[in-house]
Amino acid sequence: MLYFVLPFAVSAAVTLAVVHAAGRYSHRWADHDLSGPQKFHARPVPRVGGVGMFLGLVACVAVATWAHHATWRLGALLLACGLPAFLAGLVEDMTKRVSPAKRLLATAASAALGIWLIGATITRTDLPGLDWLVSTALGAWVATVFTVAGVANSVNIIDGFNGLSSMCVSLMLLAFAYVAYQVGDVTLALWALAGVGAALGFFVWNFPAGLIFLGDGGAYFLGFYLAEIGILLISRNAEVSPLFPLMVCIYPVFETVFSMYRRKIVRSVPPGLPDGIHLHSLIYRRLMRWAIGARDARVLTRRNSMTAPYLWMLCLTSLAPALLFWDSTVMIVACMVAFGLIYVMLYRRIVRFKTPKWMVVRR
């Protein structure tokens, strides 16, 4: 339990300290822009929630090292590799001067460090063509860097509502921990569990009150950590389907791919252009009808927080089959297709104002 309780306690304590200090340093830490298409908060809120999570994991590594646990090395290397992604996002949170391209480049550097220091490399996919690509060193490195950067960016994209990213990533890491334990990879299971503890330490102050946000530093680091655990799981354990991590992460990944398609093909705008019609944005605007027109900060915060549980349920629809078929690539492919169809059907109904009545929240 040390690997869960310690990161949780340190993350929660540091995050609380940041919340209390936010008044003094709000000019640097808080998000004062309330007008963007992806802005759904009612007041300036600190955006440095990643600090508590990172320090929670640092504390876990320190205690594991002090106690001479053989697992300390993997945790230390994961944090060292994730440092570029975390720092680039944190600097953006505090200065607003780091472009998305530079943040993705920093995350790619973290992925490259993961390849070099801990051997987190995609070398198999069970898919014709892609297997040939990753059979070469260069192809494996490119696929790994692209995957890690993509997952980190996808976690950042779904961040925007209280409790959304942190709970979804916690559930995904729990899935990785379960399968790692099933195949006897206890070290990886423990560090996946440590990630859950660190994320939930932030979660208790983010949901439902929205006292602090994950920020780019937290989102990119959390996405990097999630991707690395998934890649290590399949690179260290041949019995796990190489598509299992993708099935676990399919909600944020599919959201990202679908958003790029929607912007580039459907709307003919740059795929990186921010907008307010992600699935989570539509749920906020069209399912939380009882708060439409409200201006009170407390009501708006409640409306924000009630959005996330819908997406937790969507996330669980991918995790349940992933855990059932973690060793079967054929079944996982079928489940990914089914998830894509469910997502598109749900999005299509909501965007066309045909939301099922049982989903709409009214007073």
Q: 126, 102, 362, 156: which is closest to 239 by C-alpha?
A: 126
- How confident is the model over 73-126, as pLDDT tens digits? 999 999 999 999 999 999 999 888 888 899 999 999 999 999 999 999 999 999
Contact yes or no for 226/151 (Cβ under 8 A): yes
Angle formed by the axes of helices 50-66 and 72-95, nearest 10°: 160
pLDDT at 37: 46
pLDDT at 47: 87
Mean pLDDT over all residues of the chain? 87
Contact yes or no for 61/75 (Cβ under 8 A): yes
| The residue to which tokens 């006897």 are assigned | 184
- How confident is the model over 180-213, as pLDDT tens digits? 999 999 999 999 999 999 999 999 999 988 889 9
pLDDT at 77: 97
pLDDT at 259: 85
- How confident is the model over 299-313, as pLDDT tens digits? 667 777 788 898 999
CA distance 9 to 118: 27
Domain that holds residue 335: 2-359
**Is the pLDDT higher at 165 or at 279?**
165
pLDDT at 323 over 80: yes
CA distance 21 to 78: 29
Q: How many domains does the chain have?
A: 1
| Span 22-33, average pLDDT | 57
CA distance 355 to 363: 17
**Is the pLDDT higher at 164 or at 32?**
164
pLDDT at 109: 97
**Is the pLDDT higher at 22 or at 141?**
141
**Is the pLDDT higher at 287 or at 289?**
287
> What values do phi and psi take at 326, rounded to 5?
-65, -15
pLDDT at 354: 66
